[in-house]
Amino acid sequence: MKARWDIFCSVVDNYGDIGVTWRLARQLVAEQACDVRLWVDDLRAFERMCPEIDVQQGQQWQEGVDVRHWPAEWQGASAADVVIAAFACQLPPDYMEAMAVRDRAPLWMNLDYLSAEDWVVGCHRLPSVKFKGVQKYFFFPGFRPGTGGLLRETGLVERRRAFQQCDAAQRKFLQSLGVCPIEGARLISLFAYENAGLARWLDVLSTDGNATHLLVPEGRILADVGRWLGVDGLAAGAVHQRDALTVQVLPFVRQEQYDHLLWCCDFNAVRGEDSFVRAQWAGRPLLWHIYRQDEDIHLDKLDAFLDLYTAALSPAAKAALVGLWQAWNSPGDMAQSWKMLLEHWPELNQHAENWCLEQALQADLATALVQFYESWI
């Protein structure tokens, strides 16, 4: 009999939380033959990446996943065999009671935020709190052996490489978004939080000797882009050119389309967790805008990843990449940092592919979760 899984997602950061849990739920169904209920407290945020969602329905099926609205007033439901509280969200008290009265207690896990910090390996799969005899465990995604790995569907890297080797497939996809790449231009995607350093980066892109075509999906950075352009109310379909820089606004697209966008681009600026991981699978140089936390503790996470990611780079290329990421997140001098990065482009481009292939050697997150459950029972 197939195991029943419940995944609870409280949408905090618009799309990051639901982005991760939606990918995970679909993969558990498609590749691990699990029965999955995905409980989401904000169906309107979910609708952006899954337009088929009916936000008025409390229960519906999407791609084999039983999608449930998680209401403020809990209506009651039986507890599953495996219960995942995504990103430390608090389960409904009545659901916790339902876990406690099962004949066999469920495997209860807190699927935590992604981090490259050293302590993650030591805490992965350790027991946490108990509720009436039901034990909760920490489960950490990660980049090192001894963690839960990263979300990666079977054959993802192979599909990506085939797509990148087919110019016709890339042209067809970009045309579907209304994009006609400028001949010889560097193609960059930009998906980020609000950032005071953006104007300096756009300044240097516009005065560069090489043309840049910047693709900006609708999101929080759009207002900053508009201010730099001197345009109010930027929306999907807008195209503006300033000297060597062409800025084009794209609609918010579903996850599979966003993957293809990352695969098409020469460089990807991403944010949060879901797009950060997908940019790594793209095998292209990237820039991460990490989610800001109190007392700047997010910078410790940023530095931990940079230490790991840049370990195989030459000292000069490492300094250039670290400088750009720190300037983007601190903020600092994006203009000078970008110029330094371009001096090491071939090495950074090859390194991005090498890093992707290295990470693909580890078990993916969905597989690691199922393996933990099978060893636990």
Q: Which residues are catalytic?
A: 17, 273
Residue 112, token pair as written in the block: 């935590």
| Cross-strand pairs, 193 | none
Residue 79, token pair as written in the block: 């507890």
Calpha distance 288→371 (Å, rounded):
30
End-to-end CA distance of the chain: 14
Q: Give the SS3 label for residue 356.
A: helix
Residue identified by tokens 């300044």 is 203
Nearest to 291 by CA among 310, 277, 270: 270
CB 282 within 8 A of CB 262: yes
Nearest to 92 by CA among 160, 164, 8: 8
Calpha distance 288→282 (Å, rounded):
14
Q: Amino acid letter at 225?
A: V
Calpha distance 252→195 (Å, rounded):
19
Mutual angle of helices 255-264 and 156-164, in 10-degree steps: 50
Strand segments, DSSP code E, in the chain are: 4-9, 35-40, 59-62, 65-69, 82-86, 107-111, 127-131, 134-139, 186-190, 212-217, 239-242, 245-250, 267-271, 286-289
Calpha distance 124→8 (Å, rounded):
20
27-57 as b/e, with b when 16 or more CB fall inside 10 Å? bbbeebebbbbbbbbbbebbebbbeebeeee
Q: How far is CA 70 from CA 9, 16, 86, 93, 150, in A?
A: 8, 17, 13, 13, 26
Residue 134, token pair as written in the block: 């039901």
